[in-house]
Amino acid sequence: MPVRRFFGAFLASTLMLAGLIATPAAARGYLQCVPFARSESGIDIHGNAKTWWAQAAGDYARGQEPRAGAVMAFASTPGMPFGHVAVVEKIVGDREILISHANWSPIRGRRGQIERDVRVVDVSERGDWSLVRVWYAPIGDLGTRANPVQGFIYPNADDSGPALAEPVWARNDWKPGNGLELVAASLDN
């Protein structure tokens, strides 16, 4: 009996440790900007956000003009050493867009959250989107820091869209006598 108890305790602690190591951050409710931008845009780039602009060269079109579906690549700064990436959702005006991104504002005290339809304003002198201010939820306004932007990475025209698309729900066309008896009969077995 002591061997069985030891083995059971060993197995339980091993599984618990493996679960802590193997569980991705997203499964624990914490999402980084890179996997979010990749899944939303279909742009298949990996690595820190600060490397996306250079990695996109030759594989994706790049530019300084925001377009819906493009990834906005933020430069590395002392306050943001790994850079940041976000997906452009809507063009509001010449100097204002809405983006979706992850791990920017702490929401309900937690980092790693997704924010959608976030206001971004171009504050560059030339109006070229090289410097922006981004809405920051804790203060309920645009952030106090201006963030340098490398540019926009455009998805390929032949990409089918977001890798994690919204589910398509089936139409409910049930009518009496439309197969429910078969379901009920199968549950009886």
- The vertex-45 CA angle with 42 and 49, nearest 5°, equals 110
Question: Is the same domain home to 17 and 109?
Answer: no
- Whether 114 is covered by a domain: the verdict is yes
Question: Is the same domain home to 11 and 40?
Answer: no
Question: Is the same domain home to 21 and 56?
Answer: no
Residue 179: is it exposed, middle or buried by C-beta count within 10 angstroms (0-12/13-18/19+)? exposed
Beta bridge partners of 133: 121
Average pLDDT, the chain: 81
Beta bridge partners of 134: 120
Question: Is the same domain home to 7 and 78?
Answer: no
- Whether 175 is covered by a domain: the verdict is no
The CATH number of whichever domain residue 112 belongs to comes to 3.90.1720.10
pTM higher than 0.85 for the full model?
A: no
Residue 35: CB atoms within 10 A of its CB come to 18
Q: What is the pLDDT of residues 86-114, one digit of tens each?
A: 999 999 999 999 999 999 999 888 989 99
DSSP state of 104: S
- Whether 44 is covered by a domain: the verdict is yes
- Whether 171 is covered by a domain: the verdict is no
pLDDT exceeds cutoff 50 at 21: no
Question: Is the same domain home to 16 and 94?
Answer: no
pLDDT exceeds cutoff 50 at 167: no
Question: Is the same domain home to 16 and 72?
Answer: no
170: amino acid identity, one letter: A
- Whether 4 is covered by a domain: the verdict is yes
- Whether 91 is covered by a domain: the verdict is yes
- Whether 172 is covered by a domain: the verdict is no
pLDDT exceeds cutoff 60 at 175: no
66: containing domain: 31-154
pLDDT exceeds cutoff 80 at 53: yes
Question: Is the same domain home to 16 and 65?
Answer: no
Distance CA 189, CA 185 (A): 7
Burial pattern 155-170, b for ≥16 Cβ within 10 A else e, equals beeeeeeeeeeeeeee
- Whether 184 is covered by a domain: the verdict is no
Question: Is the same domain home to 131 and 40?
Answer: yes
Count of domains in the chain? 2
Question: Is the same domain home to 52 and 75?
Answer: yes
